[in-house]
Amino acid sequence: MQTPPNSLAALIQAVAFAADKHRNQRRKDAEASPYINHPIALANVLANEGGVQDVTVLCAAVLHDTIEDTETTADELRALFGDQVASVVLEVTDDKSLDKAVRKQLQIEHAPHISPQAQLVKLADKISNVRDILASPPADWSPERKQAYFDWAAAVVAGLRGVHPGLEEVFDGLYARRLGAG
C-alpha cells in the first residue's frame, strides 16, 4: 500500500524496504560493512549536513541503489512510494547493460540535465563515496585508483554545481583531502 507521499511514514517505509532489498549485500570496505549503511548515509548527509527537508529527495536517497543493485523494479517503487520518488530513483540509476566506462562517462554528461531532486541525491552519493574512500576504502584499491575515483566524482559534481552550494562545499573539502589519502 502506498503511504501518503512526502510523509514521515513514507520515509520510514523506504528505509525498511531498502534494508530488506539490500539485506544480503555488503560494501567493499575491508570490514564489509552492511550495504544499507550507504543509502542511510546519503539521507543523513542531505537532512543533517544539507538541511534538506524534501521527503521525496530523502526517500529517493534511501532507495537510490535498489533498482541498480537489487531485483527491485520501477513499478514496485511506483506502487509503494508514488511516481515522483520512483522517477528520481530512475534518474540516478545507471543502465547496467552498458560497459562500465560508458556508464561513468554518461554520469558526467547527464548530471547537468537531471532534475534538481536527482542532482541532490547524486551529490550526496558522491559525498558518501569519497568519504568512504577516505575513511574505509575498498581493501585492494591502489592510491592511483582512489585518485581516479576522486577525479571522476569531481567531474560528475562539476555538472551539479548550483544545486546546493553548502553540500558542494562539503564535497570540495573531501576532495581537497584526497592527496593525504594514500
What does the binding site for Zn ion look like in residue numbers (CB under 5 A)?
65, 125
Angle of CA points 102, 144, 122, to nearest 5°: 45
User: Is residue 90 a contact residue for ligand NDP (CB under 6 A)?
Assistant: no
Place of cell 521527503: 55
Smallest distance, ligand NDP to C-beta of residue 119, A: 15
Binding site partner of 66, from Zn ion, ligand NDP, none, Cβ cut-off 5-8 A by kind: none
Closest listed residue to residue 59, CA positions, set 25, 10, 98, 110: 10
Q: What is the C-alpha R_g of the chain?
A: 16
C-alpha span between 79 and 75 (Å, rounded): 6
Catalytic-residue membership of 68: yes
Binding site partner of 29, from Zn ion, ligand NDP, none, Cβ cut-off 5-8 A by kind: ligand NDP
- Pattern 119-138, ligand NDP, x by CB under 6 A: ------x---x--xx--xxx
Q: If DSSP codes are grouped into helix, strand and coil, which group holds residue 138?
A: strand
Catalytic-residue membership of 49: no
Q: If DSSP codes are grouped into helix, strand and coil, which group holds residue 2?
A: coil
Residues of span 138-157 touching ligand NDP by CB under 6 A? 138, 145, 148-149, 152
**Catalytic choice (29, 49, 69, 76):** 69
- One-letter identity of residue 45: V
Name the grid cell of 34: 552492511
Which residues sit at the interface with ligand NDP, rule CB under 6 A?
Answer: 27-29, 38, 65, 100, 125, 129, 132-133, 136-138, 145, 148-149, 152
Q: Which residues are catalytic?
A: 68-69
